[in-house]
Every structure is written in C-alpha cells, then in structure tokens.
Structure 1
Amino acid sequence: MSSIAHALIPGAQGNIPALDFQETTCCHAGITLTNHDAFSDGQDARPYSYVQQSDIDMAASTLTAEMTSEGQQAIQGKIQSGEQQAGKAKCSASSSASHSAGERSNSVTVSTTMTCIAEVFNRDDAYAMATNLLKSDATQTFHNHYALTSPLKTTLINAVIQNPEGMISLHIEAQGQWVAQFDAASRQEMARLIAGLNAASAQDLLLHQPGITQVRITVTNSPGNVLPLDEHKMIIQVGP
C-alpha cells in the first residue's frame, strides 16, 4: 500500500531522491517503508517583494487628491461668460492596479480615472428674471402715480442644487426705489380734499393718502389756522 509523507527537514534539503530509504521498519513488526519517488517542492527561505493593499490604496489616494484639484480647475475653464457655478463640483474616482494585493512583484502601477460634474446657470438671465419679478410686484402693489427713481440692484444670496437631476434653486435679492409722483391734477385734488380744514386736520388727512410720508402746512392771515375754502387759493408743492 502507499501513503503520503513529508520531509521533516525544511527547504531544499528535504528533497531526498527516490529510494533514499528502503525497507525501513516502522510502527509495528512486519511493516516497512520505502520512498519509491523523490521528494520535491522543498524550497529554501529567500526574501521577495509582494504587493500590499496599502500600497495600492496609498497610490490611489494620492492620485485622487491631485486629480480632484485638477478636475475642479478644468471645470472652471469650461464655464462660459455670463454663467456661474452652483455649489461645488462633484468628483468621483475609479482606480485599478497592475497587480492584486499579495502578488509577488517589485512594483505596481495604479491607474485612476476621475470624473467631475458641475451645475451652472446663466447669471444674466437669472438677474433679469429677478428684476422683472420685482417690477411686476411693484406694479401690483403701488398705484399708477409711482415711478422707479433708481437703478435696480440684484444680489445673488445663494444657489442650491435641489436634486440629482441638477435642478437649481436660486435666492436673488432685487432692490429698487419707487417714489410717488404727483402731477398738477393730483395736487389740485389734494387742495380740494383739505379745503376749509384747519392745519392739523388737513395734515392728518394728507398723511393717510398713498405716497405721502411727510406734510408741512403754512397758513397765513387766517384765524384758527384754517385753510381757505377755495382750493385755488392754496399752493401745494411736492418734494422728494
């Protein structure tokens, strides 16, 4: 019968030739052993290099950091005039190695592919939309005698990406100054409104009219500080 045996001496010294021992008594009377075949595969200890997972991870991490910075700079170069980026660019890396962890090798080559995505919006169009909305709101809020007296100012507060599809929410502050305008007919109507009233009552009445924030009334030659009944005898001046 045959059985499996192994050398007790490690390394190449255990590679004994065939029939190195013959008819060797073993174990019990009548049982002998002979190695009909040579022992093989015994190797002496020797140093060698092999790839560790930490080698791959370190190289991939270094490449990812460098390429992320380069990718974000490349995106800035792609933004057109009038466009503005919303939020930060999202970069993802994929790495591969020429050898797997545990393989014998004096070196390993790590390759990394970087993909960066950014969302942009047309800043000029967004500002124009904000100013148009402000003008529309002013038209609905004020009466027709109000007029815009200063250039509209728009300021971007923030731009937030709302979902994976790239929908952007913009917060834009738009400012402008509208001032009430009083033509000759409006001033004549004011005079008719306060005719015959004393100065205090007239002032209170005018302050409750749209567009009026300050009133100063001067009455001459009138007992009790009463305004004339004839509105044509009053002079109304409008200031900013």
Structure 2
Amino acid sequence: MRRTLAAVAVALLAATAGCSAPADTSNPTANGPSSGDVTQPSSGTQRTIAVGASGQVQTAPDRAVVRVAVTARADSVEAVRGRLAENASRMREALRAAGLAAGQITSARYDIGRNYEHEDRPSAPEFEGRHAFVVALNETDRAGDIVVVAVENGATSVEEVRFTVAPDTRRDLRERALSRAVENARGKAAVAANGTGLEVRGVRGVRTGDVSVQPLAREDVAFATGGDGGGGVPTSFEGGKVTVGAQVTVVYNATSTGD
C-alpha cells in the first residue's frame, strides 16, 4: 500500500550578515528527502516521514558596525594619497581618543583612480580616492556618537550603520533556533502521521539547513560633513531586534496503524 502527503515544508528566513550552514548530521536518503514527503518501501511495514521545518529567535543587538569613508580629490595621485592619509590619521586618532581600541577600527577599502567628472569638466580635479573603515562597537548606544566623531574629524561620508550580534551570542542563538526547528518538525510529523494512518516510531536521521542572522541595518546613511554643506548627523540610532533563523529536515521511522 502506498500513501503520500502534500509538502509541509516551511520557507527559511533569507540570510543577511553571513553565517555558514553547518554540516549534515546524517544522510537520510541517497538523494536527500523532499521536505514534507511521506515515503515508504515497496514491501514490508517500515515507513518514513520526512518533514522540513524552521525555527526563529529574536534578541536585542549587542554589536553595532559603523562603516565610514574618507575621500579626497586632487590633480595628482600623490596629492590624493597625502590627503587621504592625513584625514584618515586624524579620524583614527579622534576615535581612539573617544575610547575605541585599535582593533575596533579596520580598513575595509582603499582605492585611487581617475575622477570621471574631469572628462566633462576640465576644471574638476583629475584624480579621486576613497579609504573606507569599519568601526565595531560593543556598546550599541554609542553608534551615533561615534558617527559624529568620525565626520567631524576627517570622514566625508557614513556608508552604513548596522546592528547585529557578537559571535558568542550568535552561537547561542543558533542553537536555540535549531532546537525550535526540531520541535516544529516533531509537531509536523505528528500531524502528518495522524492524517495518513501512520504512527511515528523515532528519528531515523536529521539534516540541518541554513542558519541565518538578519540584522537590523541602516542602509544608505550618507551624511555630509559641515565642510560639504551637509544636513547634519544624527546622534542616536534605534537598534531594534536581530532575528536568527534555522532550518532542519528530520526523517522519522513510522509504522502503519493498520499493520
């Protein structure tokens, strides 16, 4: 006798930030089970129920990441390089004076090239450069103050303010999200078994899917400095919640209640 059940898989929350998917804990079938499928061999009484499920947990962020950049334009590469170095040094010193350690301020991008405005407007500087920095903060409520310090001491733009969680927090949330996914899978298996005349008889295998961290990001925060005639810089940001999601596929042994 063959019985089938419609798919009951739940879509996983899309990833942001960058967690790696953990390795499979087992290989339930040669090609991997389809989430929510009920399968059975052609003979005998042993059946399996394969269920896909997801779990999520939320928490307040405990880390803020601020991305700022120093830019410069001039008629020579040497002049651009000198201005970038001067402004970047001034910004670093100001951030250190604000209480940040050297390891919290890292270079993210450095490039110097032609200023394409010069082709249409010869009076414009011929070269331009950008030195971008990432500033990591454990005190999320300091993000606004650090932005102000940066733009008042050499930074010409704020590219992003992002709230997320530290690695230790992420590992804890990942375990909790996986645990909830497994609990949800157990409930789905019970419903599937009840609706198809089967009885769950223990776990045959578990396969973990992606684990994602979705930070609350503040994108496109391009604040100009006073020298650029900008519109000012906010002194605080709201961190919101960080969501961690996980997905599993669990294969359960089952027997027919009619056998």
Which one has the bigger strand percentage? 2
Give the TM-score normalised by structure 2. Answer: 0.30
Which of structures 1 and 2 has the larger relative contact order (alpha carbons within 8 angstroms, sep 6+)? 2
